[in-house]
Amino acid sequence: MKYVKANETERLVEILAYNPLIINQCDSNQRTLLHYAAMKGYLDCTSVLVAHKARINEPDQYGNLPIHLAVKEGHLLVVRYLLSINADPTKPNKDGLLPIHIACEKNYFDILKVNCSECICT
């Protein structure tokens, strides 16, 4: 977890090669490494985790997928990447919010444009 939080991609690759089972382990908030990489906006870590078979549509204890967290923190490049690999933008969290709702609440217009271009404005 510390290598994701510190955006140490090379070290993360080494750890995953040594222990691939950590890829989808959850912490006390039911968050995986991918949740933290997306939340921090670390595109390189996010893509490494996905390449190692991280589950992109895994909810945390609040029902947030990694894409919800990337949107909430305004990380446009990570949002684009997650959408490009079929992250589910139609799954609400436990508050009933879709990623697009979060983008609206935060006035993240660039993210709204990406979401709309992905045809999730319904």
Can you give the pTM of this predicted structure?
0.90
Q: What pLDDT does 4 receive?
A: 76
Q: What pLDDT does 9 receive?
A: 84
CB atoms within 10 A of CB 101: 16
Domain ranges of the chain: 2-117
Contact residues for 6 (Cβ-Cβ < 8 A; gap 6+)? none
- pLDDT tens sequence across 80-105: 999 999 999 999 999 999 999 999 99
What is the average pLDDT across 58-72? 98
Q: Which CATH class name applies to 2-117?
A: mainly alpha
- pLDDT tens sequence across 31-42: 999 999 999 999
In three-state form (DSSP H/G/I as H, E/B as E, the rest C), the secondary structure along 14-69 is: HHHHHCHHHHHCCCCCCCCHHHHHHHHCCHHHHHHHHHCCCCCCCCCCCCCCHHHH
Q: What pLDDT does 91 receive?
A: 96
Going by pLDDT thresholds of 50, 70 and 90, the confidence category of residue 120 is: very low
- pLDDT tens sequence across 8-36: 788 889 999 999 999 999 999 999 999 99
